[in-house]
Amino acid sequence: MGKEKKPEMPVRFYRTEAGRALVLDWLRGLDKEDRRWRNGE
C-alpha cells in the first residue's frame, strides 16, 4: 500500500499593499521540522 495522504487545510495569508506576505515569509524561514503543524500542540 502507498503512503497515507494527510489532510490539507486551505489557508490565506494577508498581503501588505506592497504585495509581501509577512507571515508566509516567516513560515518559509523556519526549519522543515518547525514548519510541521501538529494537532494539539
Q: Cβ distance 29 to 35 under 8 Å? A: no
- Would you place residue 2 in the very low, low, confident or very high pLDDT band (cuts 50, 70, 90)? low
Residue 32 has pLDDT above 90, yes or no: no
Indicate the pTM of the whole model: 0.55
Task: Spell out the alpha helix ranges (H) of 1-41.
Answer: 22-29, 32-35
Look-up of cell digits 499593499: 17
> Higher pLDDT residue, 12 or 9?
12
**Distance between CA atoms of 21 and 27, rounded to whole angstroms?**
10
CA distances 37 to 6, 19, 32, 34, Å, are 11, 25, 11, 8
